[in-house]
Amino acid sequence: MAVQTQQGRYGGCGCFMLTFAIFPIVLFFVGAVLVTGLPVAVSLQNYYKNRGRQPVTCPDSGEPVDVEVDRKFAFWTALRGQEHSRLQSCSRWPEKGDCGQECLQQIDPSPENIERLLSKWYEGKSCAICRRALGASDWRRSRLALLNEQHKLFELRDMYLDELQQSLQHMSPLCWNCHQEERARQAVPQRMFKGDRHGLSPAAID
């Protein structure tokens, strides 16, 4: 009985050691499946999300158009961990086939497509207050600031990204310095923050 008890004791210890040795291997395979499986899942999601032709508003003309996303291109770029998309067709092509495809932001509001839209929209614009010409440094890195028709300040975090293009039609841009001053001005009660806002109407200054 003593021998059997001793063997049972050593046998249980052996099973424990074997399990302990196998555990890192199992953990490695589970991690490998997750690392390779997640990009595939994301790629498949992107592939099926934007199937078929979809209606969008053309940023150039403001008219409704039908576009189709290049699904295969979206699949393979997502598989490589890249955020990139492009159109396969548009009802304005081939006449406007050299467009910047800023309408992609309405379908897929990824950082890349948002920057593509903003780059086009900011082109040639000046600050609504100081009238200084605007550059990419004024709106990149979460610096985007706009005034609506009532001169109320809006930042990128205040907007629905899939409706950004429509919102921009009724907004005026600000440079980084005026952005900060306007944020401080609108954070306090009216008439407590004085200063020259010569780019705005007299009603807005009051």
pLDDT in tens, 71-101: 778 777 766 666 678 888 899 988 888 888 8
Q: How far is residue 13 from each of residues 9, 18, 20, 25, 100, measured CA to CA in Å?
A: 6, 9, 10, 19, 67
pLDDT in tens, 51-64: 668 888 888 888 89
- Tell me what pLDDT residue 66 has: 92
Reference 119, options 131, 107, 104; nearest CA is 104
- d(CA 206, CA 191) in angstroms, rounded, equals 7
Does the global pTM surpass 0.85?
Answer: no
- What single DSSP character describes residue 52? S
CB-facing half-sphere around the CA of 165: CA atoms within 13 A: 25
Average pLDDT over residues 126-148: 86
